[in-house]
């Protein structure tokens, strides 16, 4: 079995392209990143932290804007689309997980 640091290195150094429907791989990445950053932000694979805000539409725009930066770095439209979808899904999964964790914490207080 691989150590967590080995898995993290494999994820961060991989040039593999992820498809938007490949939730299992996204979840595995998310699990490795889950405890690495503040409860008030999410972190992209590139290291950029995005502050969580309560306005859902604005949070979506922030994620789309950052994903577009990844899309624009790719050399072909297909690779750009794949990068956009991967980053968008990766960040949205973090937002949803944090929301679920906060909800669970509130339930456990009562």
Domain boundaries defined on the chain: 22-105
pLDDT of res. 5: 56
Three-class DSSP category at 42: strand
- How large is the average pLDDT for residues 79-105? 91
Is it the case that residue 18 has pLDDT exceeding 50? no
Percent helix, strand, coil in the chain (nearest 5)?
70, 5, 25
Contact 32, 50 (CB under 8 A): no
pLDDT of res. 16: 46
Least confident of 9-13, 85-89, 100-104: 9-13
Is it the case that residue 19 has pLDDT exceeding 70? no
């Amino acid at each position: 079995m691989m150590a967590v640091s080995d898995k993290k290195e494999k994820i961060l150094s991989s040039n593999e392209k992820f498809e938007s429907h490949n939730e299992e791989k996204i979840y595995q990445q998310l699990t490795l990143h889950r405890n690495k950053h503040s409860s008030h932000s999410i972190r992209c694979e590139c290291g950029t932290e995005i502050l969580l805000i309560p306005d859902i539409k604005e949070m979506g725009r922030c994620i789309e804007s950052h994903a577009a930066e990844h899309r624009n770095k790719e050399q072909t439209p297909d690779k750009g689309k794949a990068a956009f979808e991967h980053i968008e899904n990766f960040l949205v999964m973090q937002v949803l997980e944090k929301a679920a964790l906060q909800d669970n914490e509130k339930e456990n207080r009562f």
